[in-house]
């Protein structure tokens, strides 16, 4: 199946540090989506990637669509306390028409 | 724009009773909505796709008779958990489809079955 594995599973960082996380799959994806979920809330879309090799930024966040189409990366620069949350990658389900599948998630905690 | 609400935000019910959760797209129309379930420290798992004016389609392993979905209008989908049991306790999240790979998520409903 189209499983999306994220690493690291969780991380503690100091405020101001940069963060990198990745998402890998055994299947090819044509779209990569990155979401953030705050505790007790639904996910919010951060960045969408549509082309292999694409690099897209949203403020301090930068995501890249891996050239193999089997991975994607999310970087957060100069982390702040409100970056705390769980970051999910997601991709469209093959033949699933509008459905997406979510990765395992990376829990980020920022130490002030 | 693109706001999705859920009601209630949390609910506690007794085992054997039924619970209805509403999902509304407030400022756009959605012919398709999705229902997810999220257990603690886990990812979102798609339960079913709710289609306005037609039957919902369920993911493998999700009991359609237990999780009743009604998409009565272009802005409202409901999920009814029938004969709830403690193992149904979870965080239920809906989303509304608004365009190519654009899904807007509701804030979720925390269900606790005692």
Q: Which of A10, A14, A4, A11 is nearest to A34 (CA)?
A: A4
Instruction: Decide if pLDDT at B1 tops 70.
Output: no
pLDDT of residue B86: 96
Instruction: Decide if pLDDT at B101 tops 80.
Output: no
A100 neighbors A40 (Cβ within 8 angstroms): no
| Beta pairing, strands A106-111 & A10-14 | parallel
- Sheet arrangement for strand A19-25: A4-7, A19-25, A71-76, A61-65, A55-58
- pLDDT tier at A1 (50, 70, 90 boundaries)? low
When comparing pLDDT for A97 and A14, which is higher?
A14
Alpha helices in B1-114 (DSSP H): none
> In this complex, which of A42, A48, A88 lies closest to B106 when CB atoms are compared?
A42
pLDDT of residue B53: 85
Chain B residues lying within 8 Å of A54, measured CB to CB: none
Instruction: Decide if pLDDT at A96 tops 90.
Output: no
pLDDT of residue A95: 72
Interface contact B101-A100, CB threshold 8 A: yes
What are the tens digits of pLDDT across the range B26-45?
A: 998 988 999 999 999 999 99
Instruction: Decide if pLDDT at A91 tops 80.
Output: yes
Interface contact A42-B105, CB threshold 8 A: yes
Residues in chain B: 114
Average pLDDT of span A55-81: 97
pLDDT of residue A75: 98
Q: Name the minimum distance, in Å, from the CA of A103 to any CA of chain B.
A: 7
- pLDDT tier at B103 (50, 70, 90 boundaries)? confident
Interface contact B44-A88, CB threshold 8 A: yes
What are the tens digits of pLDDT across the range A5-64?
A: 999 999 999 999 999 999 999 899 999 999 999 999 999 999 999 999 999 999 999 999
Interface contact A102-B103, CB threshold 8 A: no
Ramachandran region, residue B83 (left: φ > 0; alpha: ψ -120 to 50; beta: rest): left
**Stretch 6-35 of chain A: residues touching chain B, C-beta under 8 Å:** 31, 33
Stretch among A83-87, B1-5, B21-25 having the lowest mean pLDDT: B1-5
Instruction: Decide if pLDDT at B105 tops 90.
Output: yes
Mutation target vs A (from B4, B101, B102, B107; most A CBs, 10 A cutoff): B101
Chain B residues lying within 8 Å of A48, measured CB to CB: 101-102
What are the tens digits of pLDDT across the range B74-83?
A: 999 999 999 9
Instruction: Decide if pLDDT at A94 tops 80.
Output: no
Locate the DSSP E strands across chain B: 4-7, 10-13, 19-25, 32-38, 45-51, 57-58, 67-73, 76-81, 90-99, 102-105, 109-113
d(CA A60, CA B111): 35
Q: Residue A97, Cβ neighbours under 10 Å: how many?
A: 10
A2 neighbors A90 (Cβ within 8 angstroms): no
Q: Flag whether residue A85 sits within 8 Å of chain B, measured between CB atoms.
A: no
> In this complex, which of A31, A33, A104 lies closest to B43 when CB atoms are compared?
A104
B8 neighbors B112 (Cβ within 8 angstroms): no
| Beta pairing, strands B76-81 & B19-25 | antiparallel
Which residues are bridge partners to B80 per DSSP? B20, B68
Mutation target vs B (from A31, A42, A45, A89; most B CBs, 10 A cutoff): A42
């Amino acid at each position: 199946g189209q499983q999306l594995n994220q690493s690291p599973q969780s991380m503690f960082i100091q405020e101001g540090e940069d963060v990198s996380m990745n998402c890998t799959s055994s299947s090819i994806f044509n779209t990569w989506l990155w979401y953030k979920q705050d505790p007790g809330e639904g996910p919010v879309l951060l960045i969408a990637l549509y082309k292999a090799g694409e690099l897209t930024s949203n403020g301090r966040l930068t995501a890249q669509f891996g050239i193999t189409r089997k991975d994607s990366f999310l970087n957060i620069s100069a982390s702040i306390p409100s970056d705390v949350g769980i970051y999910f990658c997601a991709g469209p389900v093959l033949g699933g028409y509008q459905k997406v599948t979510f990765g395992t998630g990376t829990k980020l905690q920022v130490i002030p | 724009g693109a706001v999705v609400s859920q009601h209630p935000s949390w609910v506690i019910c007794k085992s054997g009773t039924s619970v209805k959760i509403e999902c509304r797209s407030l400022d756009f129309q959605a012919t398709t909505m999705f229902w997810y379930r999220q257990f603690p420290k886990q990812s979102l798992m798609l339960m079913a796709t709710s289609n306005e004016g037609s039957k919902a389609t369920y993911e493998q392993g999700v009991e359609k008779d237990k999780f009743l979905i009604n998409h009565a209008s272009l802005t409202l989908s409901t999920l009814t958990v029938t004969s709830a049991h403690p193992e149904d306790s979870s965080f239920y999240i809906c989303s509304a489809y608004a365009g190519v790979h654009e899904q807007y998520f509701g804030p979720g409903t925390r269900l606790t079955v005692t």
